[in-house]
Amino acid sequence: MVRTSRRLADGREILYFAAGTQAPQRTAVDPRELPAVSTRSQLRWDPLLGEWVALASHRQSRTFLPPADRCPLCPTRPDGPPTEIPEAGFEVAVFENRFPALATAVEFDVPPSAPGAPLTQLRPGFGRCEVVVFTSEHDRSFATLGPERARLVVDVWADRTAELSAVEGVEQVHVFENSGEEIGVTLSHPHGQIYAYPFVTPRVEKVLASVERHRRATGGDLFADVVAAERSGPRVVAANEHWTAFVPAAARWPYELQLFPHRRVPDLPALTGEERDALAGISLDVLGRFARRFDTPMPYISSWNQAPVGRGREDWWLHLQLFSLRRAPGKLKYLAGSESGMGAFISDTTPEDVAEQLRSVR
């Protein structure tokens, strides 16, 4: 894989990635007159939940469901408007988000606490948010990328995780994809995102606490015990030499898979070449099953759970969460009172039934 770095009109970095060892020439210049990116991001500590909340009011003006001929993630064409990607063609492109929730260029001089709330600590909204565009073709999806392009995307994820993890102040790197308007996607071009957080996210904190609690109670390894049980259980949907995808026994979403490598690794950069090849293949498999389960592709979130940068790495086991809020044709699972109000999930499906349905998809 080769990487070429360029700059957009407002100074944001854009990276072009290509398979192989020969870098295509990248000379296109962004002709737009763009103001400098202005971020007012701020982190506030919720003292009751013990979690950081990011406030990013400037994101209210971000692009919302443009028509296909005005898509900012398509390559710039001679007969079309300039886009976020100046080149007329590319394999995979990554650029700094124009409307980031977190950014490196933020105001660092913030008050110690929120007005009138001394227990609500304030911090700058430091971090980095990137957009990963999987293909120049607007009407594709990850499930239809093919093995070579999917493998390139895996390498890009690993490259960005390694580089962002090395940024001083970054505590966790989250690679994810939102797919489908029902999920809240505002740009339909196939793409994902990467967030570099200045804190360890609530989910990872909770899992690490569970790992430690399990070790104290049983002397065992929680991740290893879960993976061993699920690999031999009734909820496996797909597997190859290096990976197993299964519906978790306590799935909270109507359709949910977890994808684990057979070897413990903390993050995507730690995967071998063979493991990355196998990951590309099984990703296309399970996403294809999600696409074909109903008469239209399921909206989904694909979320990589990677180890924090500075702690818990020896305990962590890299894994993917893939889930959809569609529970039946034309019906969505809404996060209503119990889920949104109390964080207590009630599922409309049974994990064993869902696993059988997904295994049957051809």
- Binding-site residues from annotation for Zn(2+): 71, 74, 138, 189
Which residue in 96, 128, 100, 110 sits closest to 9, CA to CA?
96
- CB distance 253 to 323 below 8 Å: yes
Taking only Cα atoms into account, the Rg of the chain, rounded to an integer number of angstroms, comes to 21
Q: What is the DSSP annotation of 189-258?
A: SSEEEEEEESS--HHHHHHHHHHHHHHHHHSS-HHHHHHHHHHTSTTEEEE-SSEEEE--TT--SSEEEE
**Cα separation, 327 vs 325, whole angstroms:** 6
88-103 exposure pattern, b = at least 16 Cβ within 10 A, e = fewer: eebbbbbbbbbbbbbb
DSSP classification of residue 313: T
- Residues assigned a catalytic role: 191
- CB distance 323 to 256 below 8 Å: yes
Using CA atoms, how far residue 13 sits from 7, 30, 149, 299, in Å, is 5, 11, 22, 30
Crossing angle of the two packed helices 147-165 and 273-292, in degrees rounded to 10: 120
Backbone phi, then psi, for 113, in 5-degree steps? -150, 165
Structure tokens that stand for 79 in this block = 């007969």
- State whether residue 315 is helix, strand or coil: coil
- CB distance 171 to 197 below 8 Å: yes
**Dihedral angle at the C-alpha atoms of 352, 354, 358, 360, nearest 10 degrees?**
70
**Cα separation, 332 vs 274, whole angstroms:** 37
